[in-house]
């Protein structure tokens, strides 16, 4: 599992800032505010994404993508549980893979492996298989929300 401490945290902070998110770095022994899963998993409260050096990158991207995909009304009150509906969760997973390419040393292959190791479950048995063969609904939704373009490239916007 690739952790925040394995990459340049400034790169992660700059990426999150493109969406209006602040990366709040915590000491290794700190409790992570707003963490849905607890332990070392990223936390989300309003426009602050909390992480420690041992927070997995896939967790940081997943919570960031929840911020990106939720409605403005829900975003204004975000605290810990950012999920809404199945298509939004699916779109969040798709977008986190797209954003993995924005972090040197991470990228899609590692994101797929880390998602599988963490226990994400997909109908086709792996994150990569789902992403490449079964994510049409997520792609269509992300395009409709103007979050990616027709080539599945991130537009660096948040849902309006």
Residues 6+ away with beta carbon under 8 Å from 138: 87, 90, 91, 93, 94
CA distance 32 to 112: 24
Ranges of each domain in the chain: 1-155
Q: Print the SS3 string covering 46-57.
A: CCEEEECCCCEH
- How would you write the pLDDT of the chain (160 residues) with one tens digit per residue? 999 999 999 999 999 999 999 999 999 999 999 998 889 999 999 999 999 999 999 999 999 999 999 999 999 999 988 777 899 999 999 999 999 999 999 999 999 999 999 988 777 789 999 999 999 999 999 999 999 999 999 999 999 9
Sign of CA dihedral 115, 87, 76, 146: positive
Structure tokens at 147: 């979050």
């Amino acid at each position: 599992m690739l952790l925040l401490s394995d990459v340049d945290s400034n790169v992660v902070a700059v990426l999150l800032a493109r969406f209006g998110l602040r990366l709040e770095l915590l000491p290794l022994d700190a409790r992570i505010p707003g963490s849905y899963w607890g332990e070392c998993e990223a936390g989300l409260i309003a426009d602050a994404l909390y992480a420690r050096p041992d927070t997995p990158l896939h967790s940081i991207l997943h919570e960031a993508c929840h911020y990106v995909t939720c409605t403005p009304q829900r975003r204004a009150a975000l605290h810990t549980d950012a999920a809404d509906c199945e298509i939004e969760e699916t779109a969040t997973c798709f977008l986190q893979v797209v954003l993995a390419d924005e972090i040197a040393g991470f990228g899609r292959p590692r994101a797929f492996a880390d998602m599988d190791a963490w226990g994400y479950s997909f109908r086709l048995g792996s994150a990569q298989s789902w992403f490449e063969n079964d994510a049409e609904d997520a792609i269509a939704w992300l395009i409709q929300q103007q979050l990616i373009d027709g080539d599945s490239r991130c537009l660096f916007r948040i849902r309006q």
